[in-house]
Amino acid sequence: MFAKDRFHGIVKTALQKEGWTITRNRTRFRSQALLVSSLTSA
């Protein structure tokens, strides 16, 4: 099971409760095949 499937919703909800804005922008890192949603703090 991919980590996003297991933890994404829990982490996203917790960050939103703390005032973070979650966007659909994705960032790729060349050193790894890892996608990270862009996060901004309010």
| Structural domain spans, the chain | 3-41
pLDDT attached to residue 31: 62
pLDDT attached to residue 38: 64
In the chain, alpha helices (H): 3-17
Q: What is the DSSP letter of 29?
A: -
pTM of structure = 0.49
pLDDT tens column, 1-42: 566 677 888 888 999 999 998 887 776 656 655 566 666 665
Contacts of 13 (CB under 8 A, 6+ apart): none
